[in-house]
Amino acid sequence: MKAGQRVLLSLTGRLLRGLIGPMAGLAVLLGLGGAWAIESLVEAVNDRLLGASARAVAETLGVEDGEITLDLPPWALGMLENSSRDNIYYNVFEGSKLITGYPNLPPPPQAKLGDQVTTFRYGRYRGQRVRIATEARRLPRIENPVIVQVAETLEARRSLSEYMLIQLVVLEVALLALAALLIPIGVRWGMAPLTRLRRGMDARKASDFTPLPLADVPRELRDLVTTFNALLARLDSAVEGMRRFTADASHQMRTPLSVLRTHIGVLKLSRIESPKALEAVSDIEAATDRLQRLLIQLLALARAEGAEPSGTLLHNIDLGAVVRAVAEEHALPAVRAGIELHYVSESSETFTVRGDEVLVTELIGNLVDNAVRYNRDAGVVTIRVSGDAEHVVVEVEDEGPGIPEEERDKVFTRFYRLNRDQSRPGSGLGLSIVHVLTQILDARITLESGSQRQGLLVRVVFARVTGT
């Protein structure tokens, strides 16, 4: 996957990009618009003063003896004074003839001037940009219109608009920073239903196939959750089908096996003379035993794998009592096989662990069964239960050939059999079942050499439940 694609795959990332990008664009537009507005505002405000000044000058124009008179009051130009020390210039023309004031600030073309109207324009005077207000008046008995011009340099205007622009920029930066701070919070808040949904799914047991409730699912996710629920339902029926299959298979295979065993019994009861027939019966019996063991192991494995994962069906059990019951159950087969079965419990205290009687029986039963099978002649199988503050340990030890260290990892694999056992009956499933069961029971299993450096010692460690 390319890096660019990965970024786009984060919803939060997408939302942040989608929100912050346009937001920054908007901020730039707002800035440009603001700058334009500030310029116009500053111009308009200052032009009012400038125009008023020009009008004040024009009001004092008079005609005396055919001559234009001007009584320039000090406040007419004084109103333009400011802290920026702008230069102020004025002049009065009659037509294009300078009557008074600063020369070299020519009036605009006559056509653009109306009576009683102030016009504004930019110009240059003494090397500086100036704003010029022009007021034209018609005076009685004067042929040409009298034109009054007042000009000021732009220092005050520039500093005002600069000040306002800085204000605007500061405001925008603050706004953007606030947005950058708040948007992720908002996005997280917006994504909260998704997080809740995911947490809810995480918290479910692996075997829980009940549909997710649609009530508190956001509308946008509803289709997704509905599809997910449909998937759950299909999975549920598949698992249920598997479970039913296991139960049915178990049921269906047990009856034919019973038929086989019963009829082998009948054959053995009838007097068979031929040694060949006798051999055949005993071979059939051995094969039936093997088949039965294999099928029962397969079913046990399927059942164990279909069992709920740890924590769901586990409850407090007295491990010592369960292991002892397993030992008692295996007493007769062990005696029949000429094996001595020893049960050693470290003390009479109760060893409470989280577990399940049936699963533990299956687990320890498989270990004891192996220990009896793969023992030396007249060997001993020792079942030990001991515990410390935190653990309860069950050990099953035999005096057989043991398992070479390099093969100890592999024996938990299904149908894996040691080379030397290939000729002996066995399914290669016992330890796989044990392995699956230890996982379900949250127990740890280790294989090592027996205490006399021979045989196999299987140790299963459970977490002890105390204070109950």
Partner 1 sequence: MSRILLVEDDPALLRGLVATLRTAGYAVDTAGDGASAVTLATEQPYALVMLDVGLPDFSGFEVLKRLRERGCRTPILMLTARDTVQDRVTGLDLGADDYLLKPFEPSELEARMRALLRRSHGDPSPILTIGNLVIDRSLGTATVCGRSLELRRREWAVLERLVARPGKLVSKERLTDEVFGFDEPVAPNAIEVYVARLRRKLEPDGPTIRTLRGLGYMLDPS
Q: Which residues pair with 120 in a beta bridge?
A: 133
Structure token digits, residue 324? 């002892």
The SS3 assignment for 121 reads: strand
Enumerate residues 375-434 that contact partner 1 by CB under 8 A: 383
Burial of residue 21 (number of CB atoms within 10 Å: 0-12, 13-18, 19+): exposed
- Encode 120-148: b = buried (16+ Cβ within 10 Å), e = exposed: eeeeebeeeebbbbbbbbebeebeebbbb
Q: Is 242 in the site for partner 1 (CB under 8 A)?
A: no
Among 9-17, 216-224, 314-322, 335-343, the segment contacting partner 1 (CB under 8 A):
335-343
Stretch near partner 1 under the rule CB under 8 A, chosen from 7-15, 202-210, 252-260, 450-458: 252-260
Gyration radius from the chain CA atoms: 51
Query: Mask of contacts with partner 1, 346-385, x by CB under 8 A?
Result: ------------x------------------------x--
* Only segment of 17-25, 132-140, 192-200, 328-336 that touches partner 1 (CB under 8 A): 328-336
How far is the C-alpha of 443 from the C-alpha of 86, rounded, in Å?
92
Q: How many residues bind partner 1 (CB under 8 A)?
A: 34
Closest CB to partner 1 among residues 260, 281: 260
Residue 293 found at the interface with partner 1 (CB under 8 A) = no
* Closest CB to partner 1 among residues 257, 272: 257
Q: In the 8-state DSSP scheme, what is residue 308?
A: P
Nearer of residues 128 and 292 to partner 1, judged by Cβ: 292
Shortest separation between residue 255's beta carbon and partner 1, angstroms = 5
281 interacts with partner 1 by CB under 8 A: no
333 vs 428, beta carbon nearer partner 1: 333
Minimal distance in Å, beta carbon 396 to partner 1?
13
Give whichever of 278 and 331 is closer to partner 1, judged by the CB atom. Answer: 331
DSSP 8-state class, residue 348 = S
Task: Give the nearest distance from C-beta 218 to partner 1 in angstroms.
Answer: 42
**Which one of residues 165, 179, 212, 247 is an interface residue with partner 1 (CB under 8 A)?**
247
Q: Is 255 among the residues that bind partner 1 (CB under 8 A)?
A: yes
Q: Which of 462, 434, 457, 433 is nearest to 446 (CA)?
A: 457
250 binds partner 1 (CB under 8 A): yes
- Using the contact rule CB under 8 A, the part of the chain among 18-26, 209-217, 307-315, 331-339 near partner 1 is 331-339
Task: Tell me the angle at which helices 357-373 and 430-441 cross, rounded to the nearest 10 degrees.
Answer: 150
341: contact with partner 1 by CB under 8 A = yes
Residue 57 vs residues 50, 213, 303, 328, 400: alpha-carbon distances, Å: 11, 84, 109, 126, 126
Which residues on neighbouring strands pair with residue 128, listed in sequence order? 125
Question: Is 323 a residue that touches partner 1 (CB under 8 A)?
Answer: no
Out of 200, 265, 309, 311, the only residue in the binding site for partner 1 (CB under 8 A) is 265
Of 34-42, 54-62, 67-75, 257-265, which part binds partner 1 (CB under 8 A)?
A: 257-265
Window 124 to 183, contacts with partner 1 (CB under 8 A): none
Interface pick for partner 1 out of 55, 324, 414, 444 (rule CB under 8 A): 324
Stretch that binds partner 1, among 54-62, 186-194, 323-331, 415-423 (CB under 8 A): 323-331
How far is the C-alpha of 212 from the C-alpha of 316, rounded, in Å?
31
Of 55, 129, 158, 254, the one binding partner 1 by CB under 8 A: 254
Residue (of 402, 405, 394, 395) closest to 456 by Cα position: 402
Residues 6+ apart with CB under 8 A from 187: 12, 15, 16, 19
Query: How far is 434 from 437, CA to CA, in rounded Å?
Result: 5
Instruction: In angstroms, give the least distance from the CB of 439 to partner 1.
Output: 21
Q: Which is nearer to partner 1, 222 or 263 (CB)?
A: 263
Contacts 24+ apart (CB under 8 A), 107-115: 107/134, 107/147, 107/149, 108/134, 110/136, 110/145, 113/145, 113/147, 115/145
* Residue selected from 340, 405, 407, 409 as contacting partner 1 according to rule CB under 8 A: 340
Closest CA to 352 of 344, 341, 360, 363: 360
The answer to whether 414 touches 424, Cβ cutoff 8 Å, is no
Q: Which is nearer to partner 1, 286 or 344 (CB)?
A: 344
Q: Which residue lies nearer to partner 1 by CB, 368 or 403? A: 368
Segments of 238-390 assigned E as strands: 315-318, 340-345, 352-355, 380-387
By beta-carbon proximity to partner 1, the closer residue of 86 and 362 is 362
Interface residues with partner 1 (CB under 8 A) are: 247, 250-252, 254-255, 257-263, 265-266, 269, 292, 299, 324, 327-328, 331-332, 334-336, 340-345, 358, 383
